Amino acid sequence: MAAQAALAADCPGHPDAIGTSRTIVVDPRAHPIIGTMQYRKTLPLADHEVVLTFDDGPLPKYSNEILDILAAHCAKATFFMVGRQANDSPEGVRKVRNAGHTVATHTQNHPIGMDRLPLERSKQEIEQGIASVTAALGSAPAPFLRIPGLRRNDGIEEFAASKGLQLWSADFPADDWRDISANRVYELAMQRLEKKRKGILLLHDIQPRTVAALPRILREMKARGYRIVHVVPATAERPATPSEPPQWQSRPAPDLVATARWPKVPKFAFAGGPPLPVPAFSNLDWHTTNLGAPRRGRGVPLPPVAPWPRQTALPPANTLAALPAPAENVFRIPEGALVSLMASFARGGPVAQARSTEVSAKLGGKSRPARAATTPPPATAGQAALGAQGAGGAAAKPAVPAKRNGRSVHVAGLKKR
């Protein structure tokens, strides 16, 4: 990146001054929002380059001390001033400009929740702040704007862009608006700077802790190889510093990444082209002869025929043989088992006899006349054998009495012969 001007300042009597390494000129209309605390773009800074910014002044007591510290280091900064403060101390506004710093604006009354205000009220805050600083300077300030507390919204961003203002966020703060010590301000500034390695540092020129921490911050920055960069707006007589779009990105793709150099894939498809050739078997990296023969080394020969099954055609449906259906006698109950079941029901009395007739009908057999409950039917030799022992020769288990309609019914154990 070519610099517009190199301002490596001489600081007589201050050999340890950090100085201002260069000044860059930016076009607010080309880059309306910057600062990685909220946006994806920031200033086009090189590694170890820092931009100093101060909010909320001028407040003579502390703002003047900040100016003295910066002068002792020949460091230039950007001051975002509140319109009401400019009305109270117009001399302080001019003093900042006369010291060579950039004067920008920070609304008229510094509303805390500006993102929740009606858009018309936000517009009024911005315009009145610019008018107050303009009146104190006698000329227009830089078209740089920072929203109090960074409480932006889409409406504010669109309005600022329509006015040609560049909306500044920051890359890292030092939390000097909080009730912390000056040493803590120094620690946060350096820790976050080391993590980012470059960017916009957000400070406040109305805080005593900032006055105490700033000299140590500047000395440490110089010791670690950091450089101060001053930012000014472009004008008709002062064109913007040449830069490339990736330099404005918070984390541009490095040159070593291939995708950063390769052309993008077009978003259209080619149609109607010739088909691509298919590689032949002879192009593959093995021998096509003696495939079945064993080979030395790690190579494995291909089998002459692929081991997976081939697709076969099924014969027509009308030529397939029909599967045999089960015969009717497969489900027929032997006569001896049916007689034993009916006899067991008959022992229970009239109700059991009715059950016997019902079971016989369900089983497809013929109804048999029920005999007297007191006279059991004569048992055949096969039935006696079933009652005496099972099919394996073991003694049959005694019948288990069950309650049926208040009477005991004995169900004989059946065994199909």
Residues carrying an active site annotation = 55, 204
Other Cβ atoms within 10 Å of 198 Cβ, number: 19
- Residue 69 near residue 218, CB atoms below 8 Å: yes
Q: Residue 390 corresponds to which tokens in the numbers above?
A: 């099972």
Nearest to 53 by CA among 76, 83, 72: 76
Q: Residue 138 corresponds to which tokens in the numbers above?
A: 């006698």
CA neighbours within 13 Å on the CB side: how many for 417? 13
Q: Residue 346 corresponds to which tokens in the numbers above?
A: 């008959």
Q: Return the residue matching tokens 């301002």.
A: 7
Q: CA triplet 81, 82, 83: central angle to 5 degrees?
A: 115
- Residue 173 near residue 37, CB atoms below 8 Å: yes
Parallel/antiparallel/unpaired status of strands 22-26 and 166-168: unpaired
Nearest to 402 by CA among 324, 342, 326, 348: 348
Cα-based torsion angle of the residue sequence 331, 332, 337, 340 in order, rounded to the nearest 10 degrees: 110
Q: Residue 332 corresponds to which tokens in the numbers above?
A: 């027929």
